[in-house]
Amino acid sequence: MKIACVGGGPASLYFSILMKLQDPSHDITVHERNPAGSTYGWGVTYWAGLLDKLREGDPVSALAVRENSVCWNDGVAHVGDRTTVHPGDEGFGIGRRRMLDLLAERARSLGVRVEYEREITPDELPDADLVVAGDGVNSALRERHADHFGTETAVGSNYYVWLGTTRVFDSFTFSFVETDRGWVWCYAYRFGDDHSTLVVECSPETWTGLGLDAASEADGLALLEKLFADLLDGHGLIGRAQPDGAAQWLTFRTLTNRTWHRGNLVLLGDAAHTTHYSIGAGTTLALEDAIALARALKGHADLETALDAYGRERRAELLPVQSAARHSAQWYENLPRYIRLPPAQMFALLGQRHSPLLPYVPPQLYYRIDRAAGRLEVLRRFKRWLGPKVARSVQARSHR
């Protein structure tokens, strides 16, 4: 089979590896528009379950990912000058560039052609039996047929910026800082021996109130360094300088598609779906797409049937994750509801931000129910049963 993957992100690269392992005679090219080693973003998080899946798919790249990752065991939240520690929150971080390099190296070693500085436009799709659109959230290949794919986008209200720092955090760290224009917060985690990443977020009112909308990148970073001075402990923030000096503040676009293929063109990873960054799952989901697509192609001789089965399987699996991501984003949009709670309660509810029930129950009552549910299985089941029902009925009312 001749396969062309458009985009050299984690989804395309991992898919090319799995397909070569399935059948070394597949002729596979990955086309990436950027030069080798240049990529957006800093470090990404993942959890132990992903390593198990990668080991199943390709033990060699799983080992490389694990060996190049760092691990933490605790969560810490700073709210103003109060600190709460939550032991046992295990997670992993890996530099995005490091991950792409090692996946590209593995793909090449199996005979995949990885071509950099090669932008593919929808008008000149490569001649192949299968064209994989792994070209990210702004996928030009998808946008050309947005009606066919049934693309829908919901834009979050808060502004965020993805930054790096040389401050190395031992724990997954949240920090909430109050300004006279509202709260600014970040979460930060380490992704290598000498770097961590921070995602900073605030409401649109705070963003404009602090002048971050008009500030150059350098001025914006200087302001954030001042706000997060205690957290950064003397280290600076590193942005991604734009040619015009503008900062990379964005609002998050949650993207869904009704169908994931059109003829021999199939969507993969962020081109097919996005989930809010606060659940730290986009890369994991992109890799899981690659696994599901490779499996569907192995299980069905007919391409159309395989692509159909892949899309159906993944869309169903994504439903609870998309719901969790939506509620997590809303939790931050409703921050004033939670931020003045006693620290232990605030941190507990931060950990529960994916819950569909939380937005509809007074936070302190929810906290008490959750504590009790932690001890009583029957209550926990009641909470799980009630949550989606309350969320559905409130959403139905708000759509009337």
Which pair of tokens denotes residue 278? 């606060």
Q: How far is the CB of 368 from ligand FAD (least distance, A)?
A: 31
Q: Which stretch binds ligand FAD (CB under 6 A): 29-37, 69-77, 174-182, 225-233?
A: 29-37
Tell me if 33 contacts ligand FAD by CB under 6 A: yes
For residue 227 the two structure tokens come to 């706000």
Q: Which is nearer to ligand FAD, 30 or 77 (CB)?
A: 30
Q: How far apart are CA 385 and CA 345, in angstroms?
A: 23
Residues of this chain, 254-273, that bind ligand FAD according to CB under 6 A = 269-270
> Could you tell me the maximum CA-CA distance found in the chain, to the nearest angstrom?
63
| Half-sphere exposure at residue 67, Cβ-oriented, CA atoms within 13 angstroms | 7
Based on its alpha-carbon atoms, the radius of gyration of the chain, rounded to whole angstroms, reads 22
When binding is defined by CB under 6 A, the residue of 3, 17, 19, 46 that contacts ligand FAD is 46
Beta-bridge mates of residue 251: 159
> What are the φ and ψ backbone dihedral angles of 235, each rounded to 5 degrees?
-85, 155
Given the rule CB under 6 A, which of 44-52, 66-74, 208-216, 363-371 is the region that contacts ligand FAD? 44-52
Q: At what angle do helices 363-375 and 377-399 cross, to 10 degrees?
A: 150
Whole-angstrom distance, CA of residue 210 vs CA of residue 202:
10
For position 370 contacting ligand FAD by CB under 6 A, the verdict is: no
Q: In which element (H, E) is residue 130 found?
A: strand 130-133
Q: Does 136 bind ligand FAD (CB under 6 A)?
A: yes
Taking the C-alpha atoms of residue 151 and residue 143, their distance in angstroms, rounded to an integer, is: 8
Does 11 contact ligand FAD by CB under 6 A?
A: yes
Nearer to ligand FAD, 248 or 330 (CB): 248
List 5, 17, 26, 32, residue binding ligand FAD (CB under 6 A): 32
Instruction: Report the relative pairing of strands 82-95 and 261-262 from DSSP bridges.
Output: unpaired
Helices (H) and strands (E) in the chain, counts: 14, 15
According to the binding rule CB under 6 A, does residue 356 interact with ligand FAD? Answer: no
Nearer residue to ligand FAD within complex by CB, 177 or 255:
255
Out of 16, 173, 283, 322, name the contact with ligand FAD by CB under 6 A.
Answer: 283
* Min CB(168)–ligand FAD separation in Å: 17
- The answer to whether 8 contacts ligand FAD (rule: CB under 6 A) is yes
Contacts with ligand FAD by CB under 6 A lie at: 6-12, 31-34, 41, 44-46, 119-120, 134-136, 140, 162, 199, 269-270, 277, 280-284, 286
